[in-house]
Amino acid sequence: MTRKTASQHPSASARQAGGDGGFTWTRPHLLGLEDLSKEEILHIFRTAESFQEISTRSIKKVPALRGRVVVNLFFEDSTRTRTSFSLAAQRLSADVIDFAAARSSVTKGESLRDTVRNIEAMGVDVFVIRHPAGGAPHYITRCTNCHVINAGDGQHEHPTQGLIDIFTIRERKGRIEGLNVVIVGDISHSRVARSNLWGLNKLGANVTFVGPTTLVPRAFQEMGAKVTHDLDAALKDADVVNMLRIQRERMTSQVFPSTEEYVRLFGLTRERLKGTRPDLLILHPGPINRGVELASDVADGPNSSILRQVSNGLAIRMAVLYLVNQAGTAMPA
Ligand code: CP
């Protein structure tokens, strides 16, 4: 088992600005927001805030993870998550390996366990994994002594995206408690929706899921969300709307009559915004299908913080990489 030593926080301004709130991080892995406490989520946010300053320096690099090796183990395509985990690890001075399953010996039949154990044998410290199977990151914690970060597992969780969305809401609105957050679209296939729900509920927001009955089953009420199929009614009192992509690649049957019908009922257009609060915050985790869930002028309009989510992703991922490494010896979850 690999023994890790805690590295010092690189930003003195972080300590001056409120430090760690007296909280000690103990988790060697980040697998989902369902597992995290409110205090753990707030500690990630404090750490991310302290890392934001590093990205404003002319030399955007600190030695916090010097000598550590981070492996991006991606079995699904990605633009934002993969790039920002790579950049986050590099800003902390870690060495980064980008593993793409499509160009690896996985295509020759090598198992996930063997893939992980072979890469671990080269002396790596952290696996950042995206996988089409829910639970794959949890399984890897049982195959390796390295730290494991879930970068999206099937339809289960995407914890860093959930953290980014909630962090961006808190930055823009100044609080989470009591806010009405509406999440629209393909909820049933969405790991982002699930991670948002777990995190937002813990921090005291009211979450409403909206979409076609085929994509937003009433069963989500048992997880703590309000469920409705009337977007205009849900938007009337909304402080935040998070628009999700229709994940055609995960669908096995036609779940709504046509794209035109979907846009009419669930697309966010300038016309639809007329019935909402003027300060409605618009989010989207990306990638956007412009003209489907979001009209282009809304995606790029004054209420949108979509690119701010991407910028915040870097600080959140720096914080998560830093914290799991602080947790010392990697042990099973
Ligand atoms: N939001 C998100 O996970 O985007 P990517 O699929 O591009 O990583």
pTM for the predicted model, two decimal places: 0.93
How far is ligand 1, taken at its centre, from the CA of residue 104, in Å?
Answer: 21
Residue 79 in contact with ligand 1 by CB distance below 6 A? yes
Residue 309 in contact with ligand 1 by CB distance below 6 A? no
> 10: cis peptide before it, omega within 30°?
no
pLDDT-derived band of residue 247, with 50, 70 and 90 as boundaries?
A: confident
CATH code given to domain 6-157+312-326: 3.40.50.1370
Structure tokens given for 185: 């679209």
Most informative mutation of 72, 76, 78, 168 for ligand 1 (most atoms within 8 A of CB): 78
Residue type at position 325: N
Q: Per-residue pLDDT for 71 more than 90?
A: yes
pLDDT for 20 equals 62
pLDDT for 13 equals 45
Q: How far apart are CA 24 and CA 327, in angstroms?
A: 9
How far is ligand 1, taken at its centre, from the CA of residue 239, in Å?
Answer: 24
Question: Nearest-CA neighbor of 244 among 215, 273, 204?
Answer: 215
Over residues 145-156, the mean pLDDT reads 98
Residue 286 in contact with ligand 1 by CB distance below 6 A? yes
How far is ligand 1, taken at its centre, from the CA of residue 8, in Å?
Answer: 30
Helix H, strand E, coil C: the string for the chain is CCCCCCCCCCCHHHHHCCCCCCCCCCCCCECCCCCCCHHHHHHHHHHHHHHHHHHHCCCCCCCCCCCCEEEEEECCCCCHHHHHHHHHHHHCCCEEEEEEHHHCHHHHCCCHHHHHHHHHCCCCCEEEEEECCCCHHHHHHCCCCCEEEEEEECCCECHHHHHHHHHHHHHHHCCCCCCEEEEECCCCCCHHHHHHHHHHHHCCCEEEEECCCCCCCHHHHHHCCEEECCHHHHHCCCCEEEECCCCHHHCCCCCCCCHHHHHHHHCECHHHHCCCCCCCEEECCCCCCECCCECHHHHCCCCECHHHHHHHHHHHHHHHHHHHHHCCCCCCC
pLDDT-derived band of residue 16, with 50, 70 and 90 as boundaries?
A: very low
Q: How far is CA 242 from the centre of its chain?
A: 13
> What does the pLDDT look like over 212-235, one tens digit per residue?
999 998 999 999 999 999 999 999
> What does the pLDDT look like over 273-314, one tens digit per residue?
999 999 999 999 999 999 999 999 999 999 999 999 999 999
The CATH number of domain 159-310 is 3.40.50.1370: yes
- The residue nearest atom 4 of ligand 1, judged by CA position, is 80
Question: Nearest-CA neighbor of 77 among 35, 131, 20, 23?
Answer: 131
**Domain range list for the chain:** 6-157+312-326, 159-310
pLDDT for 19 equals 52
Residue 86 in contact with ligand 1 by CB distance below 6 A? no
How far is ligand 1, taken at its centre, from the CA of residue 308, in Å?
Answer: 14
pLDDT-derived band of residue 255, with 50, 70 and 90 as boundaries?
A: confident
Hunting for tokens 């669908």 — which residue is that? 251
Distant-in-sequence, close-in-space partners of 257: CB < 8 Å, separation ≥ 6: none
Who wins on pLDDT, 330 or 297? 297
pLDDT for 246 equals 85
pLDDT-derived band of residue 184, with 50, 70 and 90 as boundaries?
A: very high
Question: Nearest-CA neighbor of 284 among 230, 231, 246, 227?
Answer: 246
Q: Per-residue pLDDT for 21 more than 90?
A: no
Return the ligand 1 atom nearest residue 286 CA: 1
pLDDT for 254 equals 74
Residue 275 in contact with ligand 1 by CB distance below 6 A? no
pLDDT for 12 equals 44
Residue 190 in contact with ligand 1 by CB distance below 6 A? no
How far is ligand 1, taken at its centre, from the CA of residue 282, in Å?
Answer: 17
Residue 150 in contact with ligand 1 by CB distance below 6 A? no
pLDDT for 7 equals 59
Over residues 127-155, the mean pLDDT reads 98
Residue 78 in contact with ligand 1 by CB distance below 6 A? yes
Over residues 56-71, the mean pLDDT reads 96
pLDDT for 8 equals 61
Percent of the chain with pLDDT over 90: 86
Task: Please check whether the two domains, 6-157+312-326 and 159-310, share a CATH topology.
Answer: yes
- Sign of the torsion formed by the C-alpha atoms of 321, 326, 328 and 332: negative
Q: Across-strand partners of 282?
A: 241, 304
